[in-house]
Structure 1
Amino acid sequence: MAQKTIRLDPEPGILIESLRDIGYSFNSALADIIDNSITAQAKNISIVALPIRESFRVSIVDDGFGLSHDDLLRAMRLGSSNPRWKREESDLGRFGLGLKTASFSQCRKLTVASKQEGRIAAFTWDLDAVEDKNSWSIIERTDVQNIYGLDFLGSSGTLVLWENVDRLTGSNGSGKVDYERVISESQDYLSLVFHRFIAGEPGVDKVDICMNGLHLKALDPFNTKNKATQTSPEEVVCPGVKLRSFTLPHISTYEDKYEYERYGLPGGYLKNQGVYLYRAKRLIIFGTWFGLAKKTALTQLTRVKIDIDADQDEIWKIDVKKVSAQMPEIVRKRVRTLIRTIGAPSRKVYRQRGARLTSPNAYPVWNRIQNDTGITYGINTAHPLVVAFRNSLDPSFQGQFDSLVAFIGAMLPTEALFYDLSNNAESVHTEIMQSEQFKDNVCSFFAVLKQFKDDDTAINVMKSIEPYKSHWEEALSALGIEEK
């Protein structure tokens, strides 16, 4: 009996809404659009992202070679290219989905207009219309003069326009978004992800990316222009994969704190240590050891650059968003071996030098202040960890933090403490930190100390104060070092 084949097409209205939740952030969606511009050999890319009344509108214009009417129509199709096709070395795309899924993840109306040989073609995906008609229907624009941003196109190039950007403003269009923060974070993200193109490094065509009038400056995560950066020779791990390791400079080599923090990247050095994976010179993933090692305070200045060719996508399992990958076993073995070498500081043998501190009570969490009116106890707001955490907060929350610290300090139960200490002092204990909390605290405090002390001095300071003094072996383990 012959088998019966039944055609089962997906429901357009349901599927297109599901595609919106594929996992793009605003920044990664922008980066995916820029990939197309670079592939189109654009030299200038201009992004304008502005709140319009209670909505948000984003336009990305490039001066690449543009697309003809038929080519643009094909590009607007979901799955417009086969990921298994052989791609050009400089091609930053893969699935033929990025333009659409990145845009759908942020807006409900996508318009793409392209000019080639003086002719303009334009099409619009309107998600509301797709749902209403439950059909994969695209709108061919004959009213190109009404398309916002079209005037910025030169003799050739492409405009990508996002309208009804609801993922930032919310479905009700409330517009309660800190647009300045969104734009600032996007500028930093793009400066990092495309830093090799912005800098025009050898072998890469220079690209100028401008966002809201600001021409982005390349943010090199390896700070290679600093003479104090330690760089290993580049090696070929396997065909299509190159590797090089870097040790970033200590804070003492920087002229100002801002420069040091800039190269720490958002989240700081401790968070951003690890592998920086580039596909066709474009940064895909950064700040991860791919499960091969733990992030420790002593390796916070270590970063490893891995370059892979565009034909490595399937081997590395690069996803549609180009923000995740899986390291193949042959590379994992090499990186695991390399970590033992480049991570030597994390396994170095610490020999106590008996450094003397200016005070045995360095960095107290509580201050004891005695004056004519009596003795007052309060939280030490100058403690490095307190200062570091406060500085990491948005300025609008710092006042609330100060109030909370003052409230906690004012609520010290002095009468209960006096009673308990007077009657049964041996039974009074402080709350014990959980193991993971203690490890996080050790790494954070060490990272703060390293900003103005060398490794050995920072370790000596920690060994002399609580809670590290009483749990020294656990503290050393958290830092990844041994003591003799």
Structure 2
Amino acid sequence: MSRKQTLPPNPARLIEGLRDTGYDFNTALADIVDNSVDAGATKIDIRINMDPDGDILVSVADDGCGMDEQALLNGMTYGAQGLVDPKRLGKFGLGLKTASTAFCRRLSVITRSSGENSLVKATWDLDHVVNASEWELLLDVPIEFEEDLLNEVAPSSSGTLVMWDKVDRMMKNYSEPGGKHARNALDRVVTGFRDHAAMVYQRFLNVTDERSRNIKIILNGQTVAPWDPFCEDEGDTELVAEKKLEAELPDGSPVEFSIRAFVLPRREYFSSQEAAKRARLTNNMQGIYIYRENRLIHPADWLGMFTKEPHLSLLRVEFSFTHESDEAFQVDIKKSRILLNEELYNWVLNEFLPAPRNAANERYRRGQRKKVSDEAKDAHEGSNRSISSKEQDLRNAEVTVVDSAAGDVEVKNKSGTVRLKLKVSESTAPRQVCVQPADSIDDGILWAPAIIDGHHAVRVNTGHPYYHKVYVPNLASDVTIQGMDSLLWALVEAELGTINEATKNHFEELRFEVSRLLRKLVEDLPEPDLED
């Protein structure tokens, strides 16, 4: 016969253990802001300050609906009872407590509901719970400082103030707790959260965005401006794919979600330098941005489909769904991750993303080719000086130009005389040119012999993947460039010195095959980031 045994958790061990649920500071503080949004707030005032002793105080005040004492007690309960509105950003009744105590040891909530004049206050003090070994919530009378903070945002109306005190996990310990280094570190924390809030609540902060109601967030006295990762206000931003689809809940019923792919302009095509800077055109900002109820819950990630590479840095994908799809996408406790079932994952990877990836890749390559071409103009100067000083001593053949326009030349070497077609050109460079970068070469080969101003030279294809992935990362290293250029020039000189009627087709095939093999060999090398 089975028996039942109630086993209540140890308060001290559990409340300490719940501090390690994996929050980072931005995610944790945003969880508090979510509660303000859910409460219907139009104004949210966040303050992150440090006193001269290095003690940090974090507060979030709003003019939302507030709570009476019973609602406050429920809200401070771990695993609070579910609320009526399923659209709420808060989901599991844990966020307020676990997000707060991940960084502080004392969490206080001061609130006033509509129609009430008095404030109520409740506090979870981890040290008290540990010492008492009981789930004892402290009910206090708010102090004047707390009343003033709330009344600045919600004077004589409903509202809520959340306070983080005994903040022990926000920053590392400094030898001078309230000194310059600690304050600089705090400034970085504040700036980081400003950027995070601008991105996460963009649809709420943007007064022209009709997908959500408008709110105002103030951080340390400054209004947070919205940040649009898709740069839809830029004329050259391109919406390359858009779909509205259905996912399936565990019970088989359908729910709708939407997915859109944007290719951003290259930096030089933004409306201004400031706009390009604001767009954060860095490699780590590419990916899928996931929105739940118009709130960003997971930014800039390809969900394991492929790694981030520079050639996709202009591609950003918007994935939006409502609370109705929570079970379909298995939203986690921090509302920061979703899981796609195998069918949907494969559809996104194999059917939706290929066209946007190609569009982003083409726009990126177009800019990269120009940048590579510009960089390559001066990158081979060292090679030209070095090779030209030795060219006469190293010549294995004499080349006579028969028809420069047609590229007809006559090569005389130890094997005899042979007629060839080579690129014949004149240079405007101030010195002899033995290595000449070219945007492309016939058949896509990496290098080809040429005659420039009557000198033996090699043309190097800057459009070949080998140049892009091997030359480009080393353009600043004169020794490395000279080494690679010398090898290609030597191959050209060896070809001119041994070629004959019987072998000239073989040399062409050799250059083609080597170029083909090099294209394959460098496929898995990382893409160079020319912004760096």
Please give the TM-score of this superposition, normalised by the length of structure 2: 0.66
Match of 2:358 in 1: 344
Match of 1:196 in 2: 203
Match of 1:56 in 2: 56
Q: Deviations over 1:217-267 (max 9, x none)?
A: 000000110011001454212123111110011111125444323212xxx
1:460/1:131 Cα in 2 relative to 1: closer, same or farther (>3 Å)?
same
How many angstroms apart in 2 are the aligned matches of 1:86 and 1:308?
20
- The alpha carbon displacement at 1:102 in A equals 0.7
- The alpha carbon displacement at 1:41 in A equals 0.9
The SS at the match of 2:378 is coil
How many angstroms apart in 2 are the aligned matches of 1:27 and 1:331?
30
How many angstroms apart in 1 are the aligned matches of 2:63 and 2:324?
26
User: 1:195·1:219 contact (CA, 8 Å) conserved in 2?
Assistant: yes
- Which amino acid letter does the alignment assign opposite residue 305 of structure 2? L
User: 2:466·2:519 contact (CA, 8 Å) conserved in 1?
Assistant: no
1:210 aligns with 2:218: yes
Q: Deviations over 1:416-466 (max 9, x none)?
A: xxxxxxxxxxxxxxxxxxxxxxxxxxxxxxxxxxxxxxx969986656565
The SS at the match of 1:240 is strand
- The alpha carbon displacement at 1:150 in A equals 3.5
The SS at the match of 1:203 is coil
Match of 2:342 in 1: 329
Larger Rg belongs to? 2
- The alpha carbon displacement at 1:284 in A equals 0.8
1:137/1:358 Cα in 2 relative to 1: closer, same or farther (>3 Å)?
same
The within-5 A match list for 1:295-310 is 295-310=308-323
User: 1:299·1:345 contact (CA, 8 Å) conserved in 2?
Assistant: no
Match of 2:378 in 1: 359
- The alpha carbon displacement at 1:202 in A equals 0.7
- Which amino acid letter does the alignment assign opposite residue 358 of structure 1? K
Aligned length: 385
The SS at the match of 1:27 is helix
Match of 1:110 in 2: 107
The within-5 A match list for 1:216-365 is 216-232=224-240, 234-238=242-246, 239-264=255-280, 268-336=281-349, 337-345=351-359, 357-359=376-378, 361=380
- Which amino acid letter does the alignment assign opposite residue 26 of structure 1? F
- Which amino acid letter does the alignment assign opposite residue 168 of structure 1? M
User: 2:79·2:92 contact (CA, 8 Å) conserved in 1?
Assistant: yes
Structure 1 residue ranges without an equivalent (≥5): 369-454
Match of 1:158 in 2: 160
The SS at the match of 2:49 is strand
User: 2:112·2:120 contact (CA, 8 Å) conserved in 1?
Assistant: yes
- Which amino acid letter does the alignment assign opposite residue 259 of structure 1? A
1:12/1:290 Cα in 2 relative to 1: closer, same or farther (>3 Å)?
same
Structure 2 residue ranges without an equivalent (≥5): 247-254, 387-461, 475-479, 488-517
How many angstroms apart in 2 are the aligned matches of 1:218 and 1:362?
47
How many angstroms apart in 1 are the aligned matches of 2:284 and 2:521?
21
- The alpha carbon displacement at 1:322 in A equals 2.0
Match of 2:16 in 1: 17
Moved more, 319-328 or 173-182: 173-182
How many angstroms apart in 2 are the aligned matches of 1:52 and 1:195?
31
- Which amino acid letter does the alignment assign opposite residue 68 of structure 1? D
Match of 1:381 in 2: none
User: 1:108·1:127 contact (CA, 8 Å) conserved in 2?
Assistant: yes
User: 2:243·2:258 contact (CA, 8 Å) conserved in 1?
Assistant: yes
How many angstroms apart in 1 are the aligned matches of 2:171 and 2:308?
36
The SS at the match of 1:343 is helix
- Which amino acid letter does the alignment assign opposite residue 226 of structure 2? A
User: 1:55·1:169 contact (CA, 8 Å) conserved in 2?
Assistant: no
Match of 1:29 in 2: 28
Match of 2:138 in 1: 139
User: 2:121·2:142 contact (CA, 8 Å) conserved in 1?
Assistant: no
> Percent of counterpart pairs with the same letter?
29
The within-5 A match list for 1:330-479 is 330-336=343-349, 337-345=351-359, 357-359=376-378, 361=380, 464=471, 473-478=520-525
- Which amino acid letter does the alignment assign opposite residue 339 of structure 1? L
Q: Deviations over 1:247-292 (max 9, x none)?
A: 011111125444323212xxx5211211000010110111111111
- Which amino acid letter does the alignment assign opposite residue 212 of structure 2? V
The SS at the match of 2:6 is coil
Match of 2:410 in 1: none
Match of 1:73 in 2: 73
How many angstroms apart in 1 are the aligned matches of 2:174 and 2:313?
43
Match of 1:184 in 2: 191
